[in-house]
Structure 1
Amino acid sequence: MSAEIDFYELLEVERGADDATLKTAYRKLAMKFHPDKNPGCSESENRFKQINAAYECLKDPQKRAAYDRYGHAAFQQGGPGGFQGGGEGFSDIGDIFETIFGNAFGGGQRQARRGADLRYDMEIGLDEAFHGKSATIEIEVAAGCEPCAGSGATPGTGTRRCTMCGGHGKVRAQQGFFMVERTCPTCHGRGEVIEKPCRACGGEGRVDQPQTLDVQIPAGVDTGTRIRLSGKGEAGPFGAPPGDLYIFIHVKRHPVFERDGTTLLTRVPISFTTAALGGSIEIPGLDGTRHEIAIPAGIQSGKQLRQRGAGMPVLQGRGRGDMVMEIQVETPTRLTARQKELLRELQATETGEECPQSRGFFDRLKDAWTDLTE
């Protein structure tokens, strides 16, 4: 590619364009100049290769930073990185250690670059978190190219040894007192280059396509639970292993229950007569069971009653947590004349012993006032 052609101009984007803008521009131009759409046109084929090279550089943060600073000289022999063997300047102290200590730090070995991991956020209800569920999701993911079986090469063609690195996948250069080894910028560490790139994937060995996946959500999940689907992430380039898909769970608020781990919390309003005389109430659990709760006579607002084993299931374990009910005594606001009459009769019989907390408070208040006035 001619050094005078600016990568940003090739992709028709501003220099500050974000990753999404770069990707959109690349897809649009790649489709426009794809050899299949321009059969026999060498100019379109050359432009298609230039666009691919520009995008390969700009989508990589390190390469883009080097290009923004030095332009094409960043990837040429004798460029600012100081390489005489054709390559990029080192950007990581690990490159130096890799050369000095060899295989102890992974040096000298070509490894396939694994595909990227993906994240999917799923919102479910509390009842679904209680029972678990089967769900079907749809995602767009870079999958292995079928025509070339992920190799990146046109079917019937192959690869040849990279002349830049001699098939080693790495290039070396003197950097001060050190001999620095770095991934070959031409073959990207593969040690070989594709003779004729696959037209379907542009030589990358993968294409974006929608996928439908069945997911099993276990009982007991909570907000923040992460479910890993091995090998369901993006396909690696040139047939490398795929990454993983991580599903992050978000549990929606429930109209009755709040959750604290495996404990279900709810606030239960009761009438003041039930609070005074005692009784029972029924609370339906998330499992569909109706739990009868005994209300002891004289219960106060804020008192908590616990129903063992009526809470959330233990994730990937046995048993269930508890259901905790916080009692709230409700003062009546709509009384009939007869009800008011009965309450006045009750009030007339009160001695103060019925409500020891109230009597104790006012006794303490009276003593404190007396101390202040003496």
Structure 2
Amino acid sequence: MADHYDVLGVSREASAEEIKKAYRKLARRLHPDVNATPEAAEEFKNVTHAYDVLSDPEQRRRYDMGGDEQMGGFGGFGGFGDVFEAFFGAAGGGGRQGRPRSRRAKGEDALVRLSLELGDVVFGTRREVEIDTAVLCDTCQGSCCQPGTEPERCDVCGGSGHVQRQVRSLLGNVVTQQPCGSCQGFGTRIPHPCTTCQGQGRVRSRRTVGLDIPAGVETGLRLQLPGSGEVGPAGGPNGDLYVEVHVEPHAVFSRESDDLLATLEVSMTDAILGTTTSIDGLDGAVELEIRPGIQSGDVLKIADRGITGLRSKRRGDLRVAVQVVTPTKVDHKTRQLVEELATRTKAPDPRLAEHQQGLFSKLRDRFRA
């Protein structure tokens, strides 16, 4: 078998870079896509095998110590090598070539979190969301090349993106196909990369995306915006943008499904006599009628003043629980009036209420219609 250094035309003291340059020079002349003669195919096989051995520091060390001659003792398995060549194809181009890898690829998805107030989800709202992600390079428009230049076909693999390599094994010579190391499997090389994006076709930047928030969203819900994520390498299609919603707690109102819940403090006199009052709802004023004799735990329901449903599009209700407030400090005259009231009404003595009518039961269930 010919000496690997002689096959590549380099000295035994050649550097790794010199070996690589010698291989590329020979590959340009002998590759099956350039030279289809049987002699060139056989020579290309030998050149590729020599480069595989000498470009690997450990294999080169063993070869320099005579390891390759020792492996030559397995030549008796040449018949099995012929069988493998029948399956994998000869190095002259009989093997099936895969397509070169595309530089363009889909971009990654992006996730941002958005805080909303409870009032934002009653009817929905529109927000501008800022994201820090990859965008198309304005200089090269995704070509990865400096303006006025373009990718060049790889002169090692001839644009196929793959090279065939011969591997010696116990069963003889096996020819395998691997991505081209010169172009990383793309089939082309970029001699003049864009200086703005360093040949990536994209750069990182902050951008603003308009987002329509539908009514009825809840904390933890993720909204998907197809194609609003980061742009892919070499100007590939954008990934998706996901917006995770967090609804901040409100000081007055809470939420149960699509209903709004609140508690209204009513004075003892208003509870006895009844009154009409107005409260500030999330979407404007709400008129409430306090009937005479209202009790703590009673619930006033105002239909269609809750949250618009995410899917039903029907508004929930506003439910207001009443809490009668008893004064803790009264003057002498007020006390006399209350005592007179007690005498006139002849209120019964304090007693334990039945469970279904007790205050704690009412408080527990006050929002359950």
TM range (shorter): 0.5 to 0.7
Shift in Å, 1:133: 2.8
Distance in 2 separating the partners of 1:199 and 1:169: 25
Letter in 1 for 2:233: P
Q: Is the 8 A contact 2:278 2:285 kept in 1?
A: no
Equivalence for 1:130: 122
Closer/same/farther in 2, CA of residues 144 and 339 from structure 1, 3 Å limit: same
Equivalence for 1:96: none
Distance in 2 separating the partners of 1:340 and 1:280: 26
Letter in 1 for 2:249: R
Letter in 2 for 1:141: T
Q: Within the alignment, does 1:258 sit opposite 2:250 as a pair? A: no
Secondary structure, aligned partner of 2:121 = helix
Equivalence for 1:199: 195
Q: Within the alignment, does 1:340 sit opposite 2:335 as a pair? A: yes
Q: Is the 8 A contact 1:285 1:291 kept in 2?
A: no
Equivalence for 2:280: 284
Secondary structure, aligned partner of 1:248 = strand
Q: Is the 8 A contact 1:144 1:207 kept in 2?
A: yes
Normalization by structure 1: what TM-score? Answer: 0.57
The superposition leaves residues 64-102 of structure 1 with CA deviations (integer Å, 9 ceiling, x where unpaired) of xxxxxxxxxxxx86999xxxxxxxxxxxxxxxxxxxxxx
Secondary structure, aligned partner of 1:126 = coil
Equivalence for 1:9: none
Identity of aligned residues (%): 36
The superposition leaves residues 254-309 of structure 1 with CA deviations (integer Å, 9 ceiling, x where unpaired) of 2221122311111111122333444443333222142324446242x233332221
For structure 1, list consecutive stretches of 5 or more residues without a partner in the other structure: 4-75, 81-106, 362-374
The superposition leaves residues 141-193 of structure 1 with CA deviations (integer Å, 9 ceiling, x where unpaired) of 2111122110212223222445777655578999999x999877765654433
Q: Is the 8 A contact 2:144 2:194 kept in 1?
A: yes
Letter in 2 for 1:145: C
The equivalences for 1:76-225 within 5 A come to 110=101, 112-162=104-154, 167=159, 187=183, 190-225=186-221
Distance in 1 separating the partners of 2:231 and 2:121: 31
Letter in 1 for 2:341: L
Larger radius of gyration: 2
Secondary structure, aligned partner of 1:273 = helix
Equivalence for 1:324: 319
Q: 1:313 aligns with which of 304, 308, 311?
A: 308
Closer/same/farther in 2, CA of residues 145 and 354 from structure 1, 3 Å limit: same
Q: 1:226 aligns with which of 222, 226, 230?
A: 222
Q: Within the alignment, does 1:297 sit opposite 2:289 as a pair? A: no
Number of equivalences: 261
Distance in 1 separating the partners of 2:215 and 2:202: 36
Distance in 2 separating the partners of 1:151 and 1:176: 46
Q: Is the 8 A contact 1:278 1:297 kept in 2?
A: yes
Closer/same/farther in 2, CA of residues 235 and 352 from structure 1, 3 Å limit: same
Q: Within the alignment, does 1:241 sit opposite 2:237 as a pair? A: yes
Q: Is the 8 A contact 2:111 2:241 kept in 1?
A: yes
Shift in Å, 1:204: 0.6
The superposition leaves residues 232-262 of structure 1 with CA deviations (integer Å, 9 ceiling, x where unpaired) of 2211001211112222222222222112231
Give RMSD over aligned pairs.
Answer: 4.0
Shift in Å, 1:348: 3.9
Equivalence for 2:271: 275
Normalization by structure 2: what TM-score? Answer: 0.58
Distance in 2 separating the partners of 1:79 and 1:293: 91
Closer/same/farther in 2, CA of residues 183 and 223 from structure 1, 3 Å limit: farther
Distance in 1 separating the partners of 2:177 and 2:341: 93
Distance in 2 separating the partners of 1:341 and 1:171: 106
Secondary structure, aligned partner of 2:333 = helix
Q: Is the 8 A contact 1:281 1:295 kept in 2?
A: no
Closer/same/farther in 2, CA of residues 187 and 272 from structure 1, 3 Å limit: farther
Bigger RCO (CA 8 Å, 6+ sep): 2
Letter in 2 for 1:327: V
Distance in 1 separating the partners of 2:177 and 2:305: 62
